[in-house]
Structure 1
């Protein structure tokens, strides 16, 4: 199963449309996970034309997004438990806040956003994935999102690109 992971789209503020590089991967995905800071429900409407969309709300999301999506979620995909959280809060790093939310939960993968900084690493047998942002790279050289392939094996990778049009 192919899962496209995105976060921090901040649309329409940081883009009026989904980047073409992202849309290329969305055409062949089975599931889309958004880790918050959608900024508008229009992002959800665009994404759901490609595949089923799961996600959480972030710190800049409006009331309508918060009514549609939870603050955190645990999904089960092919026997793997995936925790999803935006990661905002006080003190600590975004990564530490995400880990803390799922402490005591038997999750295999933790997906989070908020920092806009792509991350892919293991911590105590949990795969941590921050896809970065496909529309707001901040001071980084590239926009990004992640692809997670889940089956008997798990494969995760980032896609980095320069042009968000």
Structure 2
């Protein structure tokens, strides 16, 4: 069993609540637009950290984190890319990878809109955790926690960050 803390679009904004809400997590994943190495480093020191770079991330972050990341956790294959779209409207840059070899979980960011949707056609869960930072048009800052156990996803929690 692996408990995951998932966030995206911090845009260099640091909030101590990230650590507070991810205290119970085994890993932290960031779906891009990290914005600064400082944010990535603080998360990576706290828990094992996986991330992809987003469209606003500079070369310093792009050298450390890939554009697309595919990995397996507790029996579930995961694919993460900052700009990825969502079921029914995947970004052309990821369509081939998803359609040819769909993972069990596809994670994207970029839209700043929290969305959890199941793709029945591909038998795949999609999660966009929304935006945890303060830059952008979103009204509510959000993150997600969930559990992966034996290839299944459960106990998904949406976290709304005040302020």
2:158 aligns with: 158
Q: 1:111 to 1:118 in 2, by over 3 A?
A: same
- The question of 1:10 aligning with 2:11 is answered yes
> 1:19: Cα distance to partner?
4.3
* Length-normalised TM-score, structure 1: 0.85
Distance 2:135 2:36 in 1: 19
The 5 A counterparts of 1:22-33 are: 22-33=18-29
1: CA distance, partners of 2:63 / 2:99: 25
Contact 2:11–2:135 (Cα < 8 Å) also in 1: no
Residue aligned with 1:103, SS: helix
After TM superposition, where is structure 1 displaced by more than 2 Å over at least 4 residues in a row?
136-141
Aligned to 1:110: 106
Query: What is the number of equivalent residue pairs in this alignment?
Result: 153
- Contact kept? 1:19, 1:134, Cα under 8 Å: no
Pairing partner for 2:66 from 53, 65, 70: 70
Q: Which of 78, 83, 87 does residue 79 from structure 2 map onto?
A: 83
Q: SS in structure 1 opposite 2:66? A: coil
Q: 1:131 aligns with which of 117, 122, 129?
A: 129
Residues 19 and 137 of structure 1: CA distance in aligned 2, closer, same or farther (over 3 Å): farther
Q: How many angstroms does 1:25 deviate by?
A: 2.0
Q: Deviations over 1:51-77 (max 9, x none)?
A: 111111110100011111111011100
Q: Structure 1 residue 7: deviation in Å?
A: 0.7
Structure 2 alignment gaps of length 5 or more: none
